[in-house]
Amino acid sequence: MRMNKRDVMLSLLDAEKELPYIPAGFFLHFDPQYHQGRAAIDKHLEFFHYTGMDFVKIQYETVFPLREEIRKPEDWLKMPKYGLDFYQNQVDIATGLVQAAGKEALVIQTLYSPFMCAGHTVGDDVLLRHLHENPEPVKRGLEIITESLCASLCAPVLTPEWMVFIIPPRGVRPAAWRAQLCLQSV
């Protein structure tokens, strides 16, 4: 029986199963005109088919906006929690890709870490300085960012068929960092 790309990738979970080949993938960010809507879906599919990748890897283009009001570590307590509307474009892209390719291949959604989102919020140098000066309020800001990211995972595209893998960074409690990778099971 011939395995499709989805079956090959899922076979990686079974050490006893023999793979017909070693699965592979390639990642890059597309030009800004392919960051939204149908153009993003079509470009991801074009790249997937052109490269022959074994899964569809969704590039994450939802960058947290610069928050100029966060000037000192204590200002992280004012970090806003973004709602689903902030992530809607990314959710729509994921939905479109799962509908288009989910039976053929796994669709893997990249998420930025809370630390990376915090860097977008104030810049990496400021973030590191704030962590050095007074880490507790920055920690609370990172928790707010984490809650925001987790809320995006409750989007309508996440039906009961979705599998959510919790992959906390090394040394971080799972409660502090939720989902890193979502796979659609169709």
pTM: 0.79
Q: What is the mean pLDDT of residues 144-156?
A: 78
What are the tens digits of pLDDT across the range 54-112? 999 998 888 999 999 999 999 999 999 998 899 889 888 988 998 899 888 988 888 88
pLDDT at 176 over 70: no
Residue 183 pLDDT greater than 60, yes or no:
no
Domain ranges of the chain: 5-184
Percent of the chain with pLDDT over 90: 48
Amino acid 59 reads: Q
Contact in structure between 81 and 142 (CB atoms under 8 Å): no
CB atoms within 10 A of CB 8: 19
What is the Cα 134 distance to its own chain's centre? 28
Instruction: Identify the pLDDT of residue 2.
Output: 79
Residue 39: pLDDT above 50? Answer: yes
Residue 149: pLDDT above 50? Answer: yes
| Per-position DSSP letters for 57-117, written without gaps between them | EE----PPPP-TT--SGGGGGG-----HHHHHHHHHHHHHHHHHHTTTSEEEE----HHHH
* Summary mean pLDDT of the chain: 83
CB 174 within 8 A of CB 98: no
The predicted model gives 39-53 an average pLDDT of 96
Exposed (0-12), middle (13-18) or buried (19+): which is 168, by Cβ within 10 Å? middle
Secondary structure (3-state) at 177: coil
